[in-house]
Structure 1
Amino acid sequence: MAIVRTFDKLDLKANARHTETNGGWSIQGQDGEKFLQINTVGSSDREIPGKVSQTLRLSKDAVEQLADLAEKHL
């Protein structure tokens, strides 16, 4: 699990194809601070489909930055 407080632009050379899966979100607290938690689960072709695969907790600043990026680039 990771807490993300800011996003930096990446200059990725490869554009790997990703498989689709489901994600979920919740609001979690830690040390008096609230976070938007995003979980993804293993896709249907994984050894254990549906098992939580990645977890990110985004701070309020990170969520605002992500919203700005989405507005600007999508």
Structure 2
Amino acid sequence: MALVTELRTQPLQTVTKHSAVDCSYTVVAIDGQKFLQLDTYGSVERAIPGKKSQSLRFSPEVVQQLKQIIQENGL
């Protein structure tokens, strides 16, 4: 798992197509702060399809940053 506390922009050198996977979200409360957690699950090509693959937990500051990025980019 990773706790994301800051986002920065960095252009991609190459843009590739990604395969689709399932993703779930949870709002986690720790010490009075709320965090957004996203979990992705292995694709059908993986050794254990459907197994949790990656977890990203976003700090409240990063959630605000994501909202701003989404708004500024018309996403």
Same fold (TM over 0.5): yes
Following the alignment from structure 2 to structure 1, what is the Cα–Cα distance between the partners of residues 45 and 11? 29
**In the TM superposition, what are the counterparts of 1:24-63 in structure 2 within 5 Å?**
24-30=24-30, 32=31, 33-63=33-63
- TM-score using structure 2 length: 0.88
Deviation for aligned residue 1:58? 0.3
* Gap regions ≥5 residues in structure 1: none
Q: Runs of at least 4 residues of structure 1 off by over 3 A?
A: none
- Whichever residue aligns with residue 52 of structure 1, its letter is K
The two structures, once aligned, show a CA RMSD in angstroms of: 1.1
% identity of equivalent residues: 36
**Contiguous gaps of at least 5 residues in structure 2:** none
Aligned residue pairs: how many? 73
**Normalising to structure 1: TM-score of the pair?**
0.89
